[in-house]
Structure formats: C-alpha cells, structure tokens
Amino acid sequence: MFAPEMANRSYVYSLSNRPTAYEDRPETISGLSEWPYDVPFMVRLLMSGDPQLCASLISDGFDDEGPGRKTKLYAISSRFESGFERVKRFATIARVAASLPDDAVNLPQGRPLMDRLKRVFSARQPATVPPAASTAWFLAGLDETLEFLEAHRDAFLLLETVELDCMTEGDEAALRACVEREVSRCLRAGAALDALPLDVTQAASILKRATRHKGELPLDAFFGLRLDDDCDNTRDGATQVPLGLFWDEVLYFQLRNRAEFKAREQNA
C-alpha cells in the first residue's frame, strides 16, 4: 500500500518484464535512479524506446482504501536497449558540445549572414567574455552514466512517478493522465535527439544552441539543459531542468522480484 505524502520522487528501474499488474513481478529488477520533484532529461531519454503505460509496482492502491475499491496506479514501461542507444549517442554529442566556445553557437541573429559575420570578426574591442564553465564533473558523469547503465542492463525499464503525480492529483483518471503526459515527454526527448544530424560536430553545435535558445519542436526538449558541472544543480538555482547524472541501485523503494514477492506473500 502507498501513502502519497512519502518522498515526492521519481524512480527508475531496469527489469525483465512489462508489468501487467501489481502482482506481475519480474524475475530480475534493479534500481537505477531517483530524483526529487522531477524526472531528469537523461531518464526521459533512457525511457524513450517505446514507452507505454503499465501497472505500478510500488503499490496497488492507497493506504486508506479497502479491498475491492483500490485506485489503479500506473507507471511507464519501456525497452532498455533502444533507450540506452540514445543515451550513448547523446553522451557522445554532449561531450563535443561542452568543448565548443560560446561564439560557435551564439552568432547574432536576425541579420543577413554577411552582416553577422562582420560583427563577429570585426576588429573592434571585444566585449568581456565570462570565464568558461567547468565541465570536469559533467564529463566524468557522462562516463559514469554509461558504465552504470551497462552494468545494470535488462530487457525493460520502469519509471514510477506516482509520488510526483499525487502532489497535484488524487483520482484515478487524473493520475493516469499525469503518466500519459510523462510518456509524451519521454517521446519528445527521443525525438529531439533523433532530429540532430549524424555529423557529431554539427549535432553538438545545434544541441548547445538548443539548450540556450528555445526553438521549435522537437529541439525545444533540450531548452534549459546545462552542459557543464551545474547540469544537475537545481538546489542553487543554476538550472531548472536537471540533466540527471546521478545513478544508484539503492532507492527509497526497493522493489521485489518474483521470488521475493512470493516469499513475502507466503509469510504474510
């Protein structure tokens, strides 16, 4: 059972099945990440490989509900491999984007090309340029992300957002609509990456600009991301859109696999 005032986090797991019911437990399951009050971009990108509504494995209803009248709670199931391939491609592009100078992506807009180039290369005294943001932790985080996910591969992924959804909604239809909107966000993240050109340098330039200037669909999914050491610094307000480079198999909700679930039911 579930109390909606618990921790207000999103949770993502790798597992061996697409749950059709709370009791439909996977043979294998591992925690991957949890995030307070949000779903980070990297989780959405990871979940972008065929995301579908499925049963929540966190709970089969709320604590104050009796048998036969439990609220049906939903989560999101997706295929691991296709999402992981997108994460790997994003990491490759993001590494290059982080190394690009700002003037490579911030040409003045709204003027003819020659006019813009003259302004960029004019001999006048340049404006003071702020120091480049540090990227050492960011780059290490990309490497650690790939290593962690490689070590925790499984057939499917499970994204649980019920705690976040219960912050604003309470009835079953509204809670389902929240999860459906999150499915759309995951699909948008995948579409944004797929829209980048195959050439890594070109893709990196477009990515970096898209993080700073809100554009049209689907690249608007990148807007607000930071490609530096403040990529997840929501606490200090450096970003409102976390990238999501924190991974850990030990989560607040340690979901049981099939054998553990059956053993608990037998001993209840």
Q: What is the pLDDT of residue 21?
A: 95
Q: What is the pLDDT of residue 62?
A: 87
Beta strands in the chain (DSSP E): 9-15, 29-36, 52-55, 74-79, 156-160
Q: What is the pLDDT of residues 106-147, one digit of tens each?
A: 544 444 544 543 444 444 445 444 556 899 999 999 999 999
Q: How far is CA 197 from CA 48, 142, 204, in A?
A: 18, 21, 9
Q: Which residue has the tokens 């990238």?
A: 243
Q: What is the pLDDT of residue 4?
A: 44
- Please state the pTM of the whole predicted model: 0.88
Residue ranges in the chain modelled with pLDDT below 50: 1, 3-5, 107-111, 113-114, 116-125, 127-129
| Chain-centroid distance, C-alpha 162 | 16
What residue ranges do the domains of the chain occupy?
9-120+133-267
Fill in the DSSP letter of residue 236: T
Q: What is the pLDDT of residue 108?
A: 45
Gyration radius of the chain over CA positions: 21
